[in-house]
Amino acid sequence: MGVPNQFHAPLAVQALAAGKHVLLEKPMGINSEAARQILHAAETSDRVVMVAHQMRWESIAMQIKEQIERGELGKIYSAKTGWFRRKGIPGWGTWFTQMDQSGGGPLIDIGVHMLDLALYLMGNPKPVSVYGSTYAEFGPNRKGIGTWGTPDWDGTYDVEDLATALIKMEDGSTLSLEVSWAVHMDTDNSPFIHVMGSEGGASYRGSEGKLLTEKFDRPIESVLSKPDNDEGERARLSRHFLACIREGKQPITSVLSGFTNNLVLDAIYESSRTGNEVKLDWNLKQ
Amino acid sequence: MGVPNQFHAPLAVQALAAGKHVLLEKPMGINSEAARQILHAAETSDRVVMVAHQMRWESIAMQIKEQIERGELGKIYSAKTGWFRRKGIPGWGTWFTQMDQSGGGPLIDIGVHMLDLALYLMGNPKPVSVYGSTYAEFGPNRKGIGTWGTPDWDGTYDVEDLATALIKMEDGSTLSLEVSWAVHMDTDNSPFIHVMGSEGGASYRGSEGKLLTEKFDRPIESVLSKPDNDEGERARLSRHFLACIREGKQPITSVLSGFTNNLVLDAIYESSRTGNEVKLDWNLKQ
Amino acid sequence: MGVPNQFHAPLAVQALAAGKHVLLEKPMGINSEAARQILHAAETSDRVVMVAHQMRWESIAMQIKEQIERGELGKIYSAKTGWFRRKGIPGWGTWFTQMDQSGGGPLIDIGVHMLDLALYLMGNPKPVSVYGSTYAEFGPNRKGIGTWGTPDWDGTYDVEDLATALIKMEDGSTLSLEVSWAVHMDTDNSPFIHVMGSEGGASYRGSEGKLLTEKFDRPIESVLSKPDNDEGERARLSRHFLACIREGKQPITSVLSGFTNNLVLDAIYESSRTGNEVKLDWNLKQ
Amino acid sequence: MGVPNQFHAPLAVQALAAGKHVLLEKPMGINSEAARQILHAAETSDRVVMVAHQMRWESIAMQIKEQIERGELGKIYSAKTGWFRRKGIPGWGTWFTQMDQSGGGPLIDIGVHMLDLALYLMGNPKPVSVYGSTYAEFGPNRKGIGTWGTPDWDGTYDVEDLATALIKMEDGSTLSLEVSWAVHMDTDNSPFIHVMGSEGGASYRGSEGKLLTEKFDRPIESVLSKPDNDEGERARLSRHFLACIREGKQPITSVLSGFTNNLVLDAIYESSRTGNEVKLDWNLKQ
Amino acid sequence: MGVPNQFHAPLAVQALAAGKHVLLEKPMGINSEAARQILHAAETSDRVVMVAHQMRWESIAMQIKEQIERGELGKIYSAKTGWFRRKGIPGWGTWFTQMDQSGGGPLIDIGVHMLDLALYLMGNPKPVSVYGSTYAEFGPNRKGIGTWGTPDWDGTYDVEDLATALIKMEDGSTLSLEVSWAVHMDTDNSPFIHVMGSEGGASYRGSEGKLLTEKFDRPIESVLSKPDNDEGERARLSRHFLACIREGKQPITSVLSGFTNNLVLDAIYESSRTGNEVKLDWNLKQ
Amino acid sequence: MGVPNQFHAPLAVQALAAGKHVLLEKPMGINSEAARQILHAAETSDRVVMVAHQMRWESIAMQIKEQIERGELGKIYSAKTGWFRRKGIPGWGTWFTQMDQSGGGPLIDIGVHMLDLALYLMGNPKPVSVYGSTYAEFGPNRKGIGTWGTPDWDGTYDVEDLATALIKMEDGSTLSLEVSWAVHMDTDNSPFIHVMGSEGGASYRGSEGKLLTEKFDRPIESVLSKPDNDEGERARLSRHFLACIREGKQPITSVLSGFTNNLVLDAIYESSRTGNEVKLDWNLKQ
């Protein structure tokens, strides 16, 4: 089950203070305030702090990233990402469904994966404004729980179970982010991402990817799949962490990227509460 | 090809003045100002004015609407709709690609269909705020044109080819709207809509629909299809128009619904231009 | 290959006499007379006697049983079960194809599995009358043998290779049972069962199950599958046997259920021989 | 909708008396007593009486029959036929759901088609004994009605909606017959028939057929389909009727075959009522 | 059934002599000698002579040809074409199966279609050498006849039913040609062609085509299909014939292309007879 | 990567001289001259020399061979085999792409597998004449390399990447052989073989096989698949090698079969170079 999100920041700060390198599970902080604490602690330390966003290390994501970096897709101007689980709420009573321990529902649980990967593939544009809504129609009514597992029917459920948002970037590009733990929708329950560029696009769903462009004045595409002997994303992620330590370099999933994710997530929750667009506050000090 | 959108309002106003009943193709006006003119003309006339949104009359949409009206899906709190064409820009030089005649690209061409249907299935909630982005990466570069047809390579292209937006309603529900004439994305080129309710959901893509809910503590669904002897949506639409004339009643695709569509579309274009959320101005007079 | 069916009863009786708990492979006896001997021996013993009908412990069967017990399918009034192997006769010369050792062909070999599971899912109704036919068109003609294995072309084959029967229950419900080792039929070679209730139904074929009912005034269904981490039916079966020993309770596959199966099978063979319906004789003493 | 079954016999007898050739829709009579009246009237007339069992004239059924007549399937010893509609009860208030006008539910409505075809493909064996059950769990509870059509919610429903039966023939072969208008079962709603012979088999479901046998010591099969330019079964049926008139010959769907069907159906209803096997009474006079 | 191939040349020569434009079904002549007669007659006439190779006018073939002419596939260096019918011999007794009337079996019947299309797509290279084999294992043994039609079991069958050949061109490219009327092979009975170029390839099978190349350092492809409103190949072919007459231009399926086809076919038959490679004799006079 | 082909003959000759039994990977020699050396060395030795053509030991190939040997397919008169890899050139710089070490490209790398299996299934007919072409449009242009692996962009590439050939046998049968490492073609990248006989045929592609014939005057087929518990082809091959040693018998993949393969491959390369048919020189001495 892992350590509840509320403890990520205090533990990371303590570890750094103790001179340890830190590999944090996502989300980096329970909110942007907590993330900012890690950011500050890391600034004054020479230790490596890395967030374990393993989706960046999946074979298909890496193949897509490689094409984008080579410029094969041209300018990335729009992206769509999300993960709709139809009936996958963790059993109530776990910390996942309790706001004070988790900081939120599917948005901070699985949405942070997709947000992180999308920003990475888009070339790390700077988010400037967020607009979104969250809903909780299943959990509070004791519905939508995953078929397997032992639910605690009296547990607390005070987080969302569906979230949808648009995020505008400084460079003019836009990202759509949608997630659910439970929703009455026709979904294959797989994470997905679509990256749309001026010269080509990439789609990734479940364990299959596609590169798309025009050729012969026609739509044309290449299916991407994992190699048979794929060592797995966690192996590559771990090697990267070790390399960063050894070579004293910044991990690609740096504290800044972790902070960015938290900043955007906070803004989605706020936009949902107020009904208004939220302009991001990039003041890193506070 | 139909009459360019810029002439919808003047023709409708003249026809009403001449005492004719009016059946208008979508969009009702080239923008909300034009739509407001039709609204005012209709207010002072006893003639029927109806917008020909035939998707409301498609068999599967009607089956879904029937279930929603019976309350089988519970409260509708979120919806997603769109239509991604991968390579379907009308040949340049047609009025479709010229802003002064069309008022926009895929958003006003096919997006208005999906917006209208979505609002109808959601129970006609009142949109209050809009946030969106539009892009034109294909048309201006002479790419993305549909395979068949005779393109005018020197024609004007000054509209968008991709649009994405979120729309918040007065009752707290949210609608996501995405359309393209051309995009490097993995798409089946079909219009789609997902309606998410507290008790059930509905999905509609191409010529197939689904109703979804939980039963036996499991996800469960029913596939909807057109009956073999379906008379077709245009036949039903026409009968409705005639019934409204005969019985002096308001069509379900009334001038108010047409105005609502134009108001939302205008706001998406504005949000894209300014980068900001747009609060809708529901002052019907002007 | 296991112990030939003819030795099940003598071995079980001896084991009980020696104070052992007994876990018997199916069928409990080579016929109902043999089964009755085990029944009597078990009555006067405090040991646990259980028949190893592992299909009751398969994940999908258990999911279906759970729904039936909750009443979700309403009253079960009809069921269909069977297993058509197209070309799967065990090599001649094994005891399987010799009446005096096996007691019969596919009916007692694989039919007993399906009969047991069907009665269990139907809620253990009491069979009162049986009508059926058996045929042997392949084995005696040296046809229909499974592709793999080393046939003994001179071995004895004096059992059926196809059987079909209807079984009426005291509560008015009916069960259809059909099995083959070899038949010229379009079959996927998988065991199947359909349970039909007043409020819903369940289907199970190969490794997939379905729950079915009406909702939205339409047919609706949920696909059941084994969980990825399924420990397997034999593990659950074994735990049940141990729990029965520990807690001194009756196994769900009790000697009475084993006897019931043998009683029905005997009646099918008799109905085929005489051409007449057979009323079951529930006199447990003899 | 056709003429209610109760009028088949009186109309046929009158028509014969008036010297007309008679082409009757199925079932020939509302019961075997009515069928016997037609039989008697036909005996003393030189006119042609034919039952319009069009399934015998479907292209795939004819291809199968041709192979059987050539002896390619060997001796036919068993057959299975049926038609499970999951949710297809005709709207209440039609004569179909009223016993006094129809004589029964799906058994006499669609079951008679399958029974007739099965007996024909089996080579017209003589049925000697019947055992079956019928149920009505949907209709009386206002469930299971077909999605399309205008139900009369106050109409009478006093027929079965599910039937299952086994029929033994004089030559030792057996036929299983199962039909429903409504049932909670995993069904593709298509009629089906399996004919099992000593040398080969044939399967027919929906619009596809298969011939099956062993070759290369392996199962082997040939898919049958309708020719593209198929003139249709009704055209062939009509030509046969005209040929019988012109040539003074007996149609293949003679009054005797129509009587046989009614005799078997009556016996299934009786077996369900009494719970007992019914031996058929072949006394043609009465 | 058309005019037997043996009459193509005499009729064409007579028609030209009478001053008629000539549209000939394939093959142009029953052999190259007959084709040479048409060639000579056409040389001294101002009338249009066109061979009706309609496959060149099929929508997908035309889409492929357009890409090749644009140079999108680069240099075409190899091609494969054929048409394997598994069981499609025309009923014996038709002229198709009689050498003196047809000039050959599937090679001259359907092979000429594929040969003509392949040479056209390859850019009309000049064949210089041929090597091939033909077989007749079905027809002479009264097997392999198409299911539908009325065979004449005593008719003559003295042509091949399978042919395979390699054809080398002056520019170094090679074409593989394979056809059958009957063969025990796993085939979908569709004509096929693969054109392999240095920059891309094209595949055409049945009613679907594909363009293939490398992009993103990966295989990539575009599926081609007929447009929904395709007027059909015969309409386009006829318009081309009329345009040639009106504009006095040479049809793309000229007498020279017809002669080339006959020359290659003759050489395949000769190579099969002698067992040796045949160098083509391009002396047009004789 | 194995030992480069150029060393097969010297190593085998030395091993035999040292009194060792020899199991050689394919191809036996880098060309027929090298193969002849092994042949001669084996003739004067009592050691076993076997070529490790493991495809002969694959389960499906063995099932097909068994049927052919039983005569179920009749006379084999034609066969087609090949292996089209669309983009599978081994990284340049390996010995595979260098003529002096490998003797050729896909023809000698994977074509030799298919040639060997085809001749074996055809019953080891004696090839007498060869006609073929080879091309190299990818490798020399640094295209067509397999996606995975580390290419040496400066390595040598002087072999073919596509080859096509026809081979005529002494008994009149013909074999078509086609292979590629890289080609712009619609291929599933699987090896395939079709064996066509007078009474039946066999097809083998990837991991599935089929036996085909006529029955019921219709095409009919049986799908072959590997048994679940298949021990694998290398296990069977090794057992055969050991049995040959133990029993002093000739392996089925004898030196003569290895020589035959080399002789045919040499002739294909020569035919491509000269443009002419090549008659095989069966003089085993030289």
Spatial separation of the C-alpha atoms in residues E248 and A168, rounded to whole Å: 63
pLDDT of residue D146: 82
Task: Tell me the CB-side half-sphere exposure of residue A240, using CA atoms within 13 A.
Answer: 20
Distance of CA C234 to the CA centre of its chain: 16
pLDDT of residue B281: 93
Q: Chain B window 165-184: which residues touch C at a Cβ cutoff of 8 Å?
A: none
Chain C interface includes D201 (CB < 8 A)? yes
Given a contact cutoff of 8 angstroms between Cβ atoms, the answer to whether F197 and F75 are in contact is yes
User: A150 pLDDT band (50/70/90 cuts)?
Assistant: low
Chain C interface includes D142 (CB < 8 A)? no
Q: Which of D186, D203, D277 to mutate to test the interface with C (most CBs of C within 10 A)?
A: D186
Chain F interface includes E7 (CB < 8 A)? no
pLDDT of residue F149: 56
Q: Could you tell me which chain A residue has the CA closest to the CA of E71?
A: A216
Spatial separation of the C-alpha atoms in residues E108 and E99, rounded to whole Å: 11
Distance of CA F41 to the CA centre of its chain: 22
Chain D interface includes F227 (CB < 8 A)? no
Nearest beta carbon to residue C201 from set D75, D184, D201: D184
User: F227 pLDDT band (50/70/90 cuts)?
Assistant: confident
Chain F interface includes E212 (CB < 8 A)? yes
In Å, how far is A171's CA from the nearest CA of chain B? 11
Chain D interface includes C142 (CB < 8 A)? no
Quick one: average pLDDT of F180-191?
A: 96
Spatial separation of the C-alpha atoms in residues F147 and E219, rounded to whole Å: 9
- F213 CB neighbours in chain D (<8 A) are 215-216, 220
pLDDT digits (tens, 9 = 90+) for A40-56: 999 999 999 999 999 99
Helix (H) or strand (E) holding E40: helix E32-43
Residue D140: is the preceding peptide bond cis (ω within 30°)? no
Q: Could you tell me which chain F residue has the CA closest to the CA of E135?
A: F77
- F174 CB neighbours in chain E (<8 A) are 133, 164
Chain B interface includes A212 (CB < 8 A)? yes
Given a contact cutoff of 8 angstroms between Cβ atoms, the answer to whether E193 and E117 are in contact is yes
pLDDT of residue D155: 82
Nearest beta carbon to residue D218 from set F211, F215, F218: F211
Long-range contacts of C63-68 (CB under 8 A, 24+ apart): C63/C209, C63/C224, C64/C121, C64/C195, C64/C202, C64/C204, C64/C209, C64/C211, C64/C224, C65/C120, C65/C121, C67/B216, C67/C200, C67/C202, C67/C211, C68/C121, C68/C123, C68/C195, C68/C197, C68/C202
In Å, how far is D227's CA from the nearest CA of chain F? 14
Q: Which residue has the higher pLDDT, E198 or B227?
A: E198
Give yes or no for residue E3 having a pLDDT over 80.
yes
Q: Could you tell me which chain D residue has the CA closest to the CA of F211?
A: D216
In Å, how far is A144's CA from the nearest CA of chain B? 8
In Å, how far is C212's CA from the nearest CA of chain D? 6
**Which amino acid does the sequence have at B163?**
A
Q: Is D158 exposed, middle or buried (0-12, 13-18, 19+ CB in 10 A)?
A: middle
On whether the pTM is more than 0.90, the answer is yes
Cross-chain residue pair A200–E211, CB shorter than 8 Å: no
- A189 CB neighbours in chain B (<8 A) are none
- Chains in contact with E, where contact requires at least 3 CB pairs less than 8 Å apart: A, F
In Å, how far is D79's CA from the nearest CA of chain C? 10
**3-class DSSP state for residue F62?**
helix
**3-class DSSP state for residue A1?**
coil
Give yes or no for residue D224 having a pLDDT over 80.
yes
Chain C interface includes D78 (CB < 8 A)? yes
In Å, how far is F246's CA from the nearest CA of chain E? 40
Percent of chain F residues topping a pLDDT of 90? 88
pLDDT of residue F147: 61
Q: Could you tell me which chain C residue has the CA closest to the CA of B68?
A: C216
Cross-chain residue pair D213–F216, CB shorter than 8 Å: yes
Q: How many CB atoms lie within 10 A of CB D254?
A: 18
User: F280 pLDDT band (50/70/90 cuts)?
Assistant: very high
- Chains in contact with A, where contact requires at least 3 CB pairs less than 8 Å apart: B, E
Nearest beta carbon to residue F213 from set E135, E176, E184: E184
The mean pLDDT value of chain D amounts to: 94
Give yes or no for residue C147 having a pLDDT over 70.
no
Cross-chain residue pair A184–B196, CB shorter than 8 Å: yes
- D67 CB neighbours in chain F (<8 A) are 216
Quick one: average pLDDT of F24-29?
A: 95
Give yes or no for residue A151 having a pLDDT over 80.
no
In Å, how far is E233's CA from the nearest CA of chain F? 24
Give yes or no for residue D1 having a pLDDT over 60.
no
Cross-chain residue pair E220–A216, CB shorter than 8 Å: no
- F144 CB neighbours in chain E (<8 A) are 214
Q: Which of C184, C190, C205, C216 to mutate to test the interface with D (most CBs of D within 10 A)?
A: C184
pLDDT of residue B263: 98
Give yes or no for residue C148 having a pLDDT over 70.
no
Place of tokens 């898919």: D223
Given a contact cutoff of 8 angstroms between Cβ atoms, the answer to whether A161 and A182 are in contact is yes
The mean pLDDT value of chain C amounts to: 94
Spatial separation of the C-alpha atoms in residues B75 and E24, rounded to whole Å: 70
pLDDT digits (tens, 9 = 90+) for D115-138: 999 999 999 999 999 999 999 999
Cross-chain residue pair E211–A218, CB shorter than 8 Å: yes
Q: Which residue has the higher pLDDT, A155 or C71?
A: C71
pLDDT of residue B2: 77
pLDDT of residue C285: 75
- A205 CB neighbours in chain B (<8 A) are 186
pLDDT of residue C286: 65
User: F206 pLDDT band (50/70/90 cuts)?
Assistant: confident
The mean pLDDT value of chain A amounts to: 94
Given a contact cutoff of 8 angstroms between Cβ atoms, the answer to whether C258 and C38 are in contact is yes
pLDDT of residue B28: 96
- C220 CB neighbours in chain B (<8 A) are 211, 213, 215, 220-222
pLDDT digits (tens, 9 = 90+) for B30-84: 999 999 999 999 999 999 999 999 999 999 999 999 999 999 999 999 999 999 9
pLDDT of residue C228: 82
Q: Which of A70, A72, A73, A215 to mutate to test the interface with E (most CBs of E within 10 A)?
A: A215
- D186 CB neighbours in chain C (<8 A) are 194, 201, 203, 205, 210, 212, 221
Spatial separation of the C-alpha atoms in residues A8 and A34, rounded to whole Å: 8
**Which amino acid does the sequence have at E77?**
Y
Q: Look at residues B64, B53, B52 and name the one whose alpha carbon lies nearest to residue B208.
A: B64
Chain F interface includes D45 (CB < 8 A)? no
Give yes or no for residue B229 having a pLDDT over 90.
no
pLDDT of residue F263: 98
Helix (H) or strand (E) holding E78: strand E76-84
Cross-chain residue pair D212–C165, CB shorter than 8 Å: no
Give yes or no for residue E154 having a pLDDT over 90.
no
- Chains in contact with B, where contact requires at least 3 CB pairs less than 8 Å apart: A, C
For CA atoms D248, D249, D253, D258, the dihedral sign is positive
Chain E interface includes F87 (CB < 8 A)? yes
Chain C interface includes D185 (CB < 8 A)? yes
pLDDT of residue C284: 79
pLDDT of residue A108: 98
Chain A interface includes E216 (CB < 8 A)? yes
Phi, psi angle pair for B134, to nearest 5°: -130, 155
In Å, how far is A249's CA from the nearest CA of chain B? 35
Q: Could you tell me which chain F residue has the CA closest to the CA of E199?
A: F184
pLDDT digits (tens, 9 = 90+) for A85-139: 999 998 777 899 999 999 999 999 999 999 999 999 999 999 999 999 999 999 9
pLDDT of residue C149: 55
Q: Chain A window 90-129: which residues touch B at a Cβ cutoff of 8 Å?
A: 128-129
Q: What is the largest CA-CA distance in chain C?
A: 61
Chain B interface includes A131 (CB < 8 A)? yes
Nearest beta carbon to residue D216 from set F67, F218, F219: F67
pLDDT digits (tens, 9 = 90+) for D52-97: 999 999 999 999 999 999 999 999 999 999 999 999 998 877 899 9
